[in-house]
């Protein structure tokens, strides 16, 4: 494996201005970082990074240069679920890469009805699909507890049949795991 410090200027630039150099996990199609990287490439061309440093006057009246390392809290943390179960991984995008660079008219999309949304590329879920589908609940041993639940919520779970308690346990497990993940991210920040 080659270290970035061993790259030539041209190789480092090519590597750092390539979308795949910043993450190795699946993102939704609307996350298009290459457009942003192309804009950055056009902006910086052959300029040295120091051209982008800012200056400020400190409390003693001296002019100081700001560098990228002087800024904190510009990284974006989020959770990625790789397997659809409980394998949540905290991920971090460095810098302000997730700023709003989308050209999508989200207000127009939000105003669309379900009938106006193009879904022809999504295969229909037929009766055959549902007849072969099986609900698979984790086989954890359950502790017996007494809790107070509002009647509407209880009726909804009971409508699921004999496995209502397993459904409740699964919902609580998912909620607890999500809360643990959020606490871990906050703790690591």
Computed on alpha carbons and rounded to an integer, the radius of gyration of the chain in Å comes to 25
pLDDT tens by residue, 148-176: 989 999 998 899 888 888 888 888 888 88
Alpha-carbon distance of 109 to 53, in angstroms, equals: 38
Q: pLDDT class for 99, splitting at 50, 70, 90? A: very low
Average pLDDT across the chain, whole number? 77
Q: What is the pLDDT of residues 56-72, one digit of tens each?
A: 888 888 888 877 666 66
Q: Are 39 and 54 in contact (CB under 8 A)?
A: no
């Amino acid at each position: 494996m080659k270290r970035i410090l061993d790259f030539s200027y041209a190789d480092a630039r090519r590597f750092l201005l390539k979308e795949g150099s910043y993450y190795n996990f699946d993102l939704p199609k609307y996350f298009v970082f290459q457009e942003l990287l192309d804009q950055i490439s056009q902006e910086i061309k052959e300029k040295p990074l120091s051209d982008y440093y800012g200056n400020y006057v400190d409390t003693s009246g001296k002019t100081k240069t700001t560098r990228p390392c002087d800024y904190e809290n510009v990284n974006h943390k989020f959770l990625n679920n790789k397997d659809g179960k409980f394998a949540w991984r905290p991920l971090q995008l460095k810098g302000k890469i997730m700023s709003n660079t989308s050209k999508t008219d989200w207000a127009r999309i939000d105003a669309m009805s379900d009938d106006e949304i193009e879904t022809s590329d999504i295969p229909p879920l037929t009766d055959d699909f549902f007849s072969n589908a099986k609900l698979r609940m984790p086989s954890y041993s359950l502790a017996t507890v007494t809790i107070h639940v509002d009647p509407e919520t209880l009726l909804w779970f009971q409508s699921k049949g004999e496995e209502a308690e397993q459904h409740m346990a699964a919902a609580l497990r998912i909620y607890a795991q999500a809360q643990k993940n959020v606490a871990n991210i906050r703790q690591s920040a």
